[in-house]
Each structure stands twice: as C-alpha cells, then as structure tokens.
Amino acid sequence: MTSASPAVAGTANATDFARLPLSPAMLANLQLLGYLAMTPIQAASLPAALLGKDLIAQAKTGSGKTAAFALTLLSSLNPRRFAVQALVLCPTRELADQVTTEIRRLARAEDNIKVVTLCGGVPLRGQLATLEHGAHIVVGTPGRVMDHLARESLKLDALGTLVLDEADRMLDMGFFDDIVTVARQCPKERQTLLFSATYPEGIAKLANQFMHEPLTVTVEAQHAGGQIEQRWYEVTDGERLHAVSRLLNHFRPASTLAFCNTKAQCRDLAEVLKAQGFSALALFGELEQRERDQVLVQFANRSCSVLVATDVAARGLDIASLAAVINVDVTPDPEVHIHRIGRTGRAGETGLALNLASLPEMGAVGRIEQLQGRESDWHPLSELTPTGEGPLVPPMVTLHIQGGRKEKIRPGDVLGALTADLGYTREQVGKINVNEWSTYVAVDRAIAAQAASRLNAGRIKGKSVKVRVLEA
C-alpha cells in the first residue's frame, strides 16, 4: 500500500479543475455548478483516481469527496454502453439519495446517463422495473444491493468502478461481510475507491481483501480552529430540552441541526419545540421512506428551522449553509462529535456549534477536548436571553405535488407553472425536488396557501395535479 499527502498528489497551486484530464463539457458544467476550485481532498485524490488507481481517501464530512469519486467514475463511463459500469455503496438511504443527486448534477455534461438508487424501505417492485430498463450507475445500501444480486436483477459484469462511501460508518453498522460479498461479485479488473472520515482497523482489512495496491491520501481531519465557534453550557437533565429553545431564541440561527443520542429524546425535543412555536421536524430510524424524504426536503429547502436527529443523520446529509449544530446530548464517541459539528461551517463559511452537557457527561467532554487539542469554552445558561421579536419562523413553505419523474415532470415545468402561468416571481420560488412519484417545491411563506390553491385549480405540463401544503 502506498501513500501520498495532498502536497504530493497535486502541486500547491493545482486547484484548478482545468488541470485534470476532464472533457471540455465536464469543465463547463463544473463552472455552471459553482465548482471553481478543487477542495483539498479533490486535489489530493483526483489526479491518481483519474489514472485508474485504487484509492483510500480519508477526509472529514463536507470536504467534497462525493464530487471526487463522481468525477472519477463519470470520466471512465461509456454512455453508449447500457450496462452498470459503476456501483457506489453507502451506509444509509439518506446518503445514497444525496450521492445520486450529486452524480446526476455532474453527469449533465454527458448525454443520457442513467443513475439508479437501490435502498431498503422502498418497494422492490419499482426498483425491479427500473433495472429492467438498464442503468449506467447504481447507488445503494449493501443489503438492498445484495438482494438484487441474489435475484439477478442487478448484473455487474460490465462494472469498472466500485466506490465505498463512508466506509467507516458501514463498518460501524456491521456491513463488513456484506461489502466483501458485493465486492467478490464485481469483476477483478476494476477500480476500487474507498472514502472514509476515520481509519479504523477494518479499513485496512477491507483493502487487503480486494483492493490492488491502493494509494492512501489523507487531508486534515479536524476543522479549522476559527471556522466553527464552539460554546458549551452545563445543564441538568431536567432543563436540557428547554435549554435548546433558549439557545434558539438567543442565537436565532436560520437553520439548526440538533443531535440527540436516542430516538425517544428526538421525539420529545421535537414535541417540546413545536409546542413553543418552533418549526421542528424529527429524523431517526424506523421512519418510512416517504416520511424521511419529506423531512429532509423541508429542512434542506428552508421550510423548517430545526431538524432534530439521531446520528443516522450525522453523515451524508449535505445541507448548504447550515447555521448551527446543537448537541443536545454529548456523544460518548469523540469522533462522532467531530462529524456532528462538521455539518456547519462548510465551504469556507463560519459555523456555530452549541453543546449541552450534564455532570455525568463530563468524561465524554474530556475525551472530545483531548481529540480536538483544546479546552472547551463554557458559558452560563443565564446569558441566553431572547434577541428577536416573535417566533423563529422559516422563510419558505413546501408544497407537495402528486406526480414526479414517472409523469415526466421536470423542475422547469414547476417553475414555469408558478412564474409564467401564475405570475409569481423567481425570487418567490425556492428549491424544486422531483422524485419518482412526487415533486416538492419551496415557495415564499407569504404565498404558500394561495400558490397551492391556484396550482390545484390549474395545470402543470398540461395536466391537472393535486397539491398540498406541508407544515413543519
């Protein structure tokens, strides 16, 4: 196994994508998408990966690793060969959906690249029908991918690239044997890319089993000291949940991800916040896929102020401009703490990490201090006073439209119906997410009820649609 630092993998100023052997169409698309310079993990990994080398890349969440492996697998893809040429394994459905979306954005430079997501929690029937029509790239969780391999509905004979995303998380979830099973069904002559935030023992074990002389690249695992402001508050268990609303009313962050250690704590906190007038949603295991999709869409498109989550959301969630993270409970694993706070302060922006800790949790706080190499910055709860008038209300509301890609609905159709047909401004319309069967569009809170009513009475792409308002 060989290794390289970012300085070796690319020269110090080699952050321009134009230095890479990418097509003019891909470079133009990167410009359009706002990829102006490579992140450290992209600069360290892409030159070797684009040469077809196996790679173990260690970098924190939010570092740009998805684009690193997406550009690699897209560069070696033959669009005219309608067979699965790349497989990306992810630990959770949420991450798989994020990765699929990003690959599709980057694939716009090529004609008709088909990306399919294979995850549990979704009926097999629809996935089987989709696979029958063929695909170039599959993104999925290990269990569901193995299910399709066993049914022979997924064939990997033409596979050229295998990607293991958040490999350490998959190992934590007990997927070691599943990963090995999938890898053994891939052609031996292939490229394998493994991305991980940490480097547990199992990573080396995986590499030894099915990687060929992998190059190891590592970028800084910690966040820049001044990038994320961390503040700590001592609480009793009895005042913990109400302390969260005090933090929100004092700092008034536009979007907050609040982490709890248990599903029960998630539910309790979300109910407390809702009762106090906050727009809050909960994300944890055992939610149906439709519910999970709606929660994530509402939070990502600024229709919900607070997402209360267990660590199922600690990785893979790519929420742009997340203003704050609140650790409602201290995690006993200091590396998980790093992943949690890494949700904020991305892409050069500053972030705010607010942490609540009781006396029994001080041992865990000490382990976090040791890992970060600095003492915690403690503040009294008494300094938390309301700093604004009225409740913290998100600027947008999500409209749910029955109908998606299966009905040939595209984001431009929805935007056209709202602006050209109904006369709303482009500024009053936010993110538009089109799924297989549903479409979600964020609109300015002031027009939400009216826009839903007018869409119900009108048409999208010449067809009548059913529209309802989703309230967080």
Confidence of residue 228 (pLDDT cuts 50, 70, 90): confident
Return the CATH fold of 396-470: Alpha-Beta Plaits (3.30.70)
Is the pTM higher than 0.75?
A: no
Region 6-15: mean pLDDT is 45
Average pLDDT of the residues of the chain: 88
Sequence spans of domains, the chain: 2-218, 228-383, 396-470
Angle CA 279–284–285, to nearest 5: 155
Q: Using one digit for the tens of pLDDT, what is the confidence trace for 63-87?
A: 788 999 999 999 999 999 989 999 9
Q: How far is CA 260 from CA 172, 190, 266, 285, in A?
A: 18, 40, 6, 13
Region 230-240: mean pLDDT is 95
Q: Using one digit for the tens of pLDDT, what is the confidence trace for 353-399?
A: 999 999 999 999 999 998 888 889 999 999 999 998 778 899 999 99
Residue 8 has pLDDT above 60, yes or no: no
Confidence of residue 4 (pLDDT cuts 50, 70, 90): very low
Task: Please answer whether residues 60 and 338 qualify as being in contact, where contact means their C-beta atoms are separated by less than 8 angstroms.
Answer: yes
Q: For the chain, percent helix, then strand, then coil, each to nearest 5? A: 40, 20, 40
Confidence of residue 470 (pLDDT cuts 50, 70, 90): very high
Residue 467 has pLDDT above 70, yes or no: yes
List CB contacts of 40: < 8 A, sequence separation 6 or more: 6, 59, 63, 219, 220
In sequence order, what DSSP letters do the residues of 404-470 get, joined into one string?
A: -GGGT--HHHHHHIIIIIT---GGGEEEEEE-SSEEEEEEEGGGHHHHHHHHHHS-BTTB---EEEE
Pairing of strands 396-402, 467-470: antiparallel
pLDDT at 59: 78
Region 322-335: mean pLDDT is 92
Assign domain 2-218 to its CATH superfamily: P-loop containing nucleotide triphosphate hydrolases (3.40.50.300)
DSSP-derived secondary structure letter, 223: P
The CATH code of domain 228-383 reads: 3.40.50.300
Matching CATH topology for 2-218 and 228-383? Answer: yes
pLDDT at 262: 92
Residue 286 has pLDDT above 90, yes or no: no
